[in-house]
Each structure stands twice: as C-alpha cells, then as structure tokens.
Amino acid sequence: MRLADLIGGVIVLILGVAAIYFSSQLEYYSEFGPGPGFLPLWVGICITGFAIVLIFNILRKHEKAGAFLKPRTREGFKLLIIIIATFFLLPHLGFSIGFGLFAGLTMRFMGRHRWFVCGLTAVGIAIGIRYVFGHWLSIPLPKGIAGW
C-alpha cells in the first residue's frame, strides 16, 4: 500500500506541475482583472506543494497498511472488462440489447447464476430499458442493428 500511496503522490505531483505549465500559458492578469490563468496557476502551485509534503510524509512513514490489491480485486477487473466491452458494442447493438447482454453476462460470470436465469434477466432488462427509458421517460436512446 505504501508503494501505491507513493505512486499516487507522484501522480498528484505530476498533475500539479502540468497545471502550472499549462496555466502559465494562459493570461494571468488582464485589463479587466484576473485572467483565465489566475486560479489554475495558484491551484497548480498548491497541488505541487502539498504533493511534495505528502510524498515526504509517505517516505518518512514505515508502517505497513493493507495491500492495494485485495483477493476480490480480480472481480472488479472482470466487471471493468465487461463494461468496456459493452460500451464498445453499444453503438452497434443499441442500449436495450447492449445492456440486456451486459446484465446477462455479469450475472453469469460474476454472480454464477444459471444460464436460464441469466438469459431471462437479459431479456427482461432489454425490454425494461426499452419501455421505461424509451417510452415512459421519453429518453431517446440509440437503437442498434436490430432496430431496438
């Protein structure tokens, strides 16, 4: 966890430095008062300063506090992959079928439910999305190749 914390601190530091660099290219003070670069520059300076203090504190501490990756982190990654796959397929399948498929796959691979239950849920959710969002709430959701 200490290493993860340290990496986090370094990323914050890089963010701070980047904020200083990009905001210094904006106008700091205009004839009407503070310009668009005024606040981001100060925010960047503060982020950098606090990130340095944070990194120093992490390096000074020696206690071990839990692991960053936990036994169930793998489940989270599995879900992330299913979500990314669904988002790639959404423009082609449409929201109803896309998320119906997502629900079915999630229930099968993460909940270990029976295929029949997963299939039934997938169909139910596809119909539910179509009618609740599309008809009842009148939200224009994109349709896929099947016209749904």
Partner 1 sequence: MDLLQNLYMGFSISLTPINILYCLAGCFLGQIVGVLPGIGAPTAVALLLPLTFSINPTSAIIMFAGIYYGVAYGGTITSVLINVPGESSTVMTCLDGYQMALKGRAGAALSVAAIGSWIAGTIAVAILMCFAPALANFALRFGPSEFFGLAFMSFGLLTVFGAEEPIKTIISTLIGLLIATIGLDVVSGMPRFTFGMPQLFGGFDFIVMICGIFGLAEVFNSIEEPEEGQLIKEKMRLRDLFLTKAEWVASRWAILRGTIIGFLTGIIPAGGITTASFLAYLAEKRVSRHPEDFGKGAIEGVASPEAANNAASISGFAPLLALGIPGSPTTAVMLAGFMMWGIRPGPLLFQTKPDLVWGLISSKFIGNLILLLMNIFLIPLFVMILRVPYTILMCFIVIFASVGAFTVNNNFFDVWMMLGFGILGYIMRKLSYPIVPLVLALVLGNLAENSIRQALTISGGSFSIFFTRPISVLFIIVGILAYLSPVIRWALKGVRGPKVEVS
Q: In the chain, what are the helix, strand and coil shares in percent, each to the nearest 5?
A: 70, 5, 25
The least CB distance from residue 64 to partner 1, in Å, is 15
Cα gap 27→43, rounded to integer Å: 15
Our measurement of the distance from residue 25's CA atom to the centroid of its chain's CA atoms, rounded to an integer in Å, reads 29
Based on CB atoms, which residue is closest to partner 1, 79 or 123? Answer: 79
Which of 34, 92, 114, 146 binds partner 1 (CB under 8 A)? It is 34
Which of 59, 110, 127, 145 binds partner 1 (CB under 8 A)? It is 110
Angle between helices 73-109 and 115-129 (to 10 degrees): 90
- Residue 147 falls in which region: left (phi positive, over 0), alpha (psi -120 to 50) or beta: left
Question: Does residue 129 interact with partner 1 by CB under 8 A?
Answer: yes
Question: Does residue 20 interact with partner 1 by CB under 8 A?
Answer: no
Based on CB atoms, which residue is closest to partner 1, 87 or 146? Answer: 87
Cα gap 135→99, rounded to integer Å: 17
Number of Cβ atoms within 10 Å of the Cβ of 61: 11
Which residues of this chain interact with partner 1, rule CB under 8 A?
A: 4-5, 8, 12, 15, 19, 22-23, 26-27, 29-30, 32-40, 43-44, 46-47, 50-51, 53-54, 57, 68, 70, 72-73, 75-76, 79-80, 83-84, 87, 90-91, 95, 99, 102-103, 106-107, 110-111, 113, 121, 125, 129, 133, 137-141
